Homo-oligomer: A and B are copies of this chain.
């Protein structure tokens, strides 16, 4: 009887886990749909109904899977994180010279700025929201740290390929590149055609001086 009971408990636990997985998978599906609308309209102008209307789901589903709006947005932020903190890692892993790393980084930078502008403006929007809404802070600070680490991996590898060491702290390097990217993004969204090439020039000039 003990065995049967244990077996039953185990099976129930497995069922539970499977159900949880399915539940979480659905949450991520919904979060992904929500990110579309959020990237289009920004946090301030996005309502649950708008999200639902721009997706294949009804607004009730979102309430079924998320306790409230903040819960949904938090899930969006966390899911976004997973997608972006390894963006440049392939370049870092495959580059065998400073030039190769530079060009790979610049190419990825330009591509990101142009094809994922909406997702990135949302990131800057949510990071600003975190200054007002405490519920976002933990996740946002974590993403920031991950991005800082990502930049640091690039800088370290770049320095290593020139037998040097990065000349600044991770925080300063991240601030620099993030600031440049943010500014370029705003100009790019304002239809400034010079934004992308100027960012690339700036980064190309900067890399040898900071690493």
User: Does the CB pair A172–B44 fall under 8 Å?
Assistant: no
Interface code A14-56, partner B: CB below 8 Å = 1, 0 otherwise?
0000000000000000000000000001111100000000000
User: Does the CB pair A128–B125 fall under 8 Å?
Assistant: yes
User: Does the CB pair B186–A175 fall under 8 Å?
Assistant: no
User: Does the CB pair B202–A137 fall under 8 Å?
Assistant: no
Give the residue name and chain of the B residue nearest to A124 (CB): B128
Interface code A140-180, partner B: CB below 8 Å = 1, 0 otherwise?
11001000000000000000000000011101101111111
User: Does the CB pair A180–B175 fall under 8 Å?
Assistant: yes
Inter-chain CA distance A124–B124, complex, in Å, is 9
User: Does the CB pair B42–A131 fall under 8 Å?
Assistant: yes
Inter-chain CA distance A209–B168, complex, in Å, is 9
Count the A residues whose beta carbon is within 8 Å of the partner chain — how many? 44
The one of B144, B171, B172, B202 that contacts A171, using a Cβ cutoff of 8 Å? B202
Query: Any chain B CB within 8 A of the CB of A112?
Result: no
Q: How far is the CB of A151 from chain B (nearest CB, A)?
A: 11
- List 19 interface pairs A-B (beta carbons < 8 Å), by A numbering: A42-B133, A44-B129, A44-B132, A124-B131, A125-B129, A125-B131, A131-B185, A131-B186, A141-B186, A167-B209, A168-B206, A169-B205, A171-B202, A172-B180, A172-B202, A174-B179, A174-B183, A175-B180, A176-B176
